[in-house]
Amino acid sequence: MLTGCMLAALLPSLPAANAAVTSYKFDFGGGAVEAGYTGVRAEDGYNASKGHGFNTPANMRNVSAAGKGVGSDAVQFTTFGIKSSNTFNVDLPNGLYKVKVMLGNTGRSSVAAEGVYQVINMTGNNVTDEFEIPIWDGQLNLLVTEGKVGGAFTLSSLEISQLSTNPVTRPTIYVGGDSTVSNYYPLATSIQAGWGQMLQQYIKPSDYNVRNMASAGQIARGFRNDGQLEAILQYIKPGDYFILQLGINDTNPKNNETEAEFKEIMRNMVQLVKAKGATVILSTPQGRATDFNSAGVHNAENRWYRQATIALAAEEGVRLIDLNVISSAYFTSIGPAATLALYMDGDTLHPNHAGALELARLLTEEMKKQGLYR
């Protein structure tokens, strides 16, 4: 006859009945639920007993999606915006979490949580990305919102896992910029890429988490006013870096931003981040692939409000990476044909995957030279 102690030894150990759940996998939409996931339909409202659900299910729809498994269906957020109360809520113990999202059929959709952007402009059906987020108030509040107005903002699956019981972000490098810096999807295989997307290839994840908040078409005024800087300011802390590279779109007359205005908006962002105790690094954008003279020397020093960025770094006492000049020296060394091969076909401004890797490498090497990274 088995005693109670003998029986306990034979049974698998189970969590205590009141143990806090620290990982979830959700499959959204009206279709079949994938094995290992918790199904969530658009009409499933939040209640405390189950610990998850939509805050306002009346503003959600079940929709189909083009993928398989968890990617075969989704929910659509019909009311959105980073401050919207139309969120999917999950009760979680306070701590640091990794959140992985898969969207449905969508283009240029952003993920927001805790009232700020987390991922910018995810593009492509069943596109995936992940981010780390501290939970301070016992609940994750997440939604998918516009990167481009007029799209369908959908969510196919969500995976949440606790990294630490301490609700503090790991040392992080935050990146701001435009289309030459931003993420393109799928992250591992995209033809076009920004150097911010590639930075983690040269930065050890054990040293720094990289959070790229750059977006295509961005100018200084937009980055400051439209939510991207707000997200950084919510989390950035002493020991973190903020690398900011703008100027390309700011010089376009349609954006109505003079060099003097550009400089003062950039100054405001620099000062706001410095006040958080983080290290600011200003970077100048690389030139066009065709900026070669007749002697085969690449030079783009008079582009993109570069002088304003250099002056601002000196005036505010922050670090400068003159990627414009550094990349020109590299392009000169490899020549016009090899340089053109680092840009998108028929496009002399935007780097391809290989070009973004080279720019990230050059930037990281300069960080090492300046003692910013070992």
Given the residues 85, 137, 333, 347, select the one marked as catalytic: 347
* Strand, coil or helix: 267: helix
Which one of 109, 110, 156, 179 is the catalytic residue? 179
Residue 281's contacts (CB-CB under 8 Å, 6 or more residues apart) are: 241, 242, 243, 244, 318, 319, 320, 321, 367, 372
Residue 61: strand pairing partners: 76
Q: What does each C-alpha distance from 304 to 179, 181, 287 come to in angstroms?
A: 14, 14, 8
Cα distances (angstroms) measured from residue 296 to each of 98, 285, 293, 339, 342: 47, 20, 5, 11, 17
Known catalytic residue: 179?
A: yes
Angle at which helix 228-235 crosses helix 259-274, to 10 degrees, equals 20
Annotation says 294 is catalytic: no
**350 an active-site residue?**
yes
Whole-angstrom Cα distance, residue 143 to residue 145?
6
Cα four-point dihedral sign 27, 31, 36, 42: positive
Write out the catalytic residue numbers.
179, 347, 350
